[in-house]
Chains A and B, each alone.
Chain A
Amino acid sequence: MTTGMASRAEAVALVRHSLSGFATEAELAELGESQPLRSTLELDSIDFLTFVERLAAGSHRRIDEDDYPRLSTIESCAQFLTESR
């Protein structure tokens, strides 16, 4: 298992998939990559935890609370998921 996801496109797909259920499919499709996730989708802390849970499972990497600030937009999530560390 490599650290970091192979491609940005793969990471973006995972992020979008992890947001399913938090808004309608149409709303999620329209969501821009630089829009703030929590305020735009009105995610409460439990929603956000679920989101992080899906990201961690989908990317096979540990995500700590310290990483949460980096998970603010689709763009920043993708960057976080694709970098190796």
Chain B
Amino acid sequence: MTEFRMPSLGADMVEGTLLHWYVRPGQVVHIGDVVAEVDTTKAAIEVESFDDGILAAILVPEGATVPVGTPLATIEPAAGSVGAPPSAERTDGEPAPEDTPADSHRDAATTPAADHTGPAPLPPHTAEAISGGREISPPGGGGTGEKPGHDLHATPLIRKLAEEAGIDIDTVHGSGPAGRVVRADINRIKSAGSSNVPSPETERRTAHPASTVSTVPSDKAVQGTPKTYTGRASGYARRLATAANIELSGVQGSGPDDAVRALDLPTDVSERQPAPDGVRPPPPQNVPGDNVTAETPRRSPATARQMIAAAMTRSKRTVPHYYLSSTVDMDAAMRRLRTVNEQAPVTERIVSSALLLCAAARAARAVPELNGFWLDEEFRPAPDVHVGMVVSLREGGILVPTISDADHLSATAMMQAVRDAVARTRAGRLRSRDTVQATITATSLGDLGADAVFGVIPVPQVAIVGFGAVTEKPCAVAGMVGVRPQVTATLSADHRASDGAVGARFLRCLADHLQHPEELCP
């Protein structure tokens, strides 16, 4: 029997809210089926099945907020299910809420990872460390009574919002792609009554789903807190206020629509924030027998910023970084890409950052001292290479989806994986495969014009690779000055886990791979 666990979006994420179950106990599930949707402060995550079998039990009800790593449900092997092609069919005639082109490469690129890592993104002890070892009990009776059927008309999150607002979603004309109902549609109906004309605002929101969050009234969000505040406030502010026993209603908010943000709370409360250690204020105490809905983490930019702040501060306070850089000749690599791209339609072209990621992943495999975690005062190498890729969001902030088994991907497969992951990330809807715990991270700010970037290590990983812009620069070639494409590759590494010589070996190895691009990009 295997378990699904609450996935994590990086070390700064401590909990998530189970929004919806797509399957029921007794139902058959296949590898790759989306079985549940989870909401987090940073993005929605569609939890995929990593096994064929039968859903045995649901352990966390809809509406409950639980720490990352908490088992959500169990699967038992289905008798006679052997030979069923993975995700050949959907159970119960239900399509996945959003099928992506990633399906075509899933088997090649990601399923092998799921076999041994599963969707549990962190080693249990890590999850425990991050959540302060505290168990948060799911509230009783958190189910929404929502009917299990769903279609492409709206995502479960939107259905839930509509339900909360008392709107029959089937009557809503969606302004999203293919008439899909988006959050802005719900907001519009709530504020304007029956008008279904898409506004420019709707269009904008559609393009930036993650930015819509702060506009959603969070009346339901506070039902589980001792002090009920029905105005607007960020989830983080609510938690701080709950911990400090402060009435939010007496606080003037500075956020959108006067929402109360953490910054608006009395100074001593904000300063009491436990961010650097990753320890959070105690969760709201649920009164036994009280039929409550758990607080839903809201994806407000301010809250996401606070989480990034906490993670970065924690890293810089606890990890002694050392920094190396190396100028890498990209002549052979760029020529190879040019040759490949000349033949290819635009949709199949490979950008240099995909090739750089391939080289970084192979270097991580060759130098295992940089691929793994610093836990319990010792370095624990990881058996596989899962590269976290820093993606900057248009509305500000970053998310770091994971490219699993990146060291085995060709440049073509890497490009596809990167495009898909970036698209999901920017849409604010990740798959659980994106949340596999990364073993090393890469950032490519060169794409946005920087010459070099020295990253901050995402704890508990021990290294982050940075790539600047690939640009034509003068350099010595066979005793002469030539002009060739070059890139500055950097490494920030944890000096507790490795020394500079190891880091130098890593950069050398990375550069070597880029001198033989035909191996990366056959």
Contact = CB atoms under 8 A, between A and B. Distances in A.
A65 B349 CA distance: 9
A31 to B, nearest CB: 14
Nearest to A29: B200
Contacts of A56: 346
A49 B338 CA distance: 14
Contact of A26 (B200, B419, B447, B449): B200
Contact of A65 (B341, B347, B447): B341
A24 B394 CA distance: 9
Contact of B203 (A22, A25, A39, A46): A25
Contacts of A44: 353, 392, 444, 447-448
A60 B338 CA distance: 22
A63 B207 contact: no
A3 interface: no
A52 B347 CA distance: 9
Contacts of A52: 346
Contacts of B419: 46, 49
B418 interface: yes
A49 B349 contact: yes
A77 B382 CA distance: 47
Interface in A31-76: 39, 42, 44-46, 49, 52-53, 56, 63-65
Contacts of B347: 53
Nearest to A41: B394
A46 B346 contact: no
B342 interface: yes
Given A25-B200, A53-B347, A65-B338, A46 B448 contact: no
A25 B204 CA distance: 6
Interface in B204-242: 204, 207-208
Contacts of A25: 200, 203-204, 207
B328 interface: no
A24 B208 contact: yes
B200 A63 contact: no
B422 interface: yes
A45 B207 contact: no
Contacts of A63: 346
A9 interface: no
Contacts, number: 46
B498 to A, nearest CB: 30
Contacts of A53: 346-347
A20 interface: yes
A23 to B, nearest CB: 7
B352 interface: yes
Contacts of A39: 449
Interface string B313-333: 000000000000000000000
A42 B422 CA distance: 15
Given A45-B447, A52-B346, A65-B341, A24 B422 contact: no
B200 A46 contact: no
Contact of A45 (B208, B338, B346, B352): B352
Interface string B340-364: 0110001101011100000000000
Contacts of A42: 392, 394, 448
Given A42-B448, A44-B448, A49 B346 contact: yes
B215 to A, nearest CB: 14
A24 B341 CA distance: 31
A8 B204 CA distance: 26
A24 B189 CA distance: 22
A24 B353 contact: no
Contact of A24 (B207, B342, B392): B207
Q: Which of B349, B353, B419 has the most C-beta atoms of chain A within 10 angstroms of its own C-beta? A: B349
Nearest to B208: A24
A55 to B, nearest CB: 9
A46 B351 contact: yes
B449 A49 contact: no
Given A42-B448, A45-B351, A22 B394 contact: yes
A64 B418 CA distance: 21
Nearest to A44: B447
B418 A46 contact: yes
Nearest to A24: B204
A64 B342 contact: yes
Nearest to A27: B204
Contacts of B353: 44-46
A20 B203 CA distance: 10
16 contacts: A25-B204, A25-B207, A42-B394, A42-B448, A44-B444, A45-B352, A46-B353, A46-B418, A46-B419, A46-B447, A49-B346, A49-B349, A53-B347, A56-B346, A65-B341, A65-B349
- Rank and list the top 6 A-B pairs by shortest CB-CB distance, nearest first: A44-B447, A45-B351, A21-B207, A53-B346, A24-B204, A45-B447
Interface of A: 20-26, 39, 42, 44-46, 49, 52-53, 56, 63-65
Given A39-B449, A42-B448, A45-B352, 14 more contacts: A21-B207, A25-B203, A26-B200, A42-B392, A44-B447, A45-B351, A45-B353, A46-B351, A46-B419, A46-B422, A49-B351, A56-B346, A65-B338, A65-B349
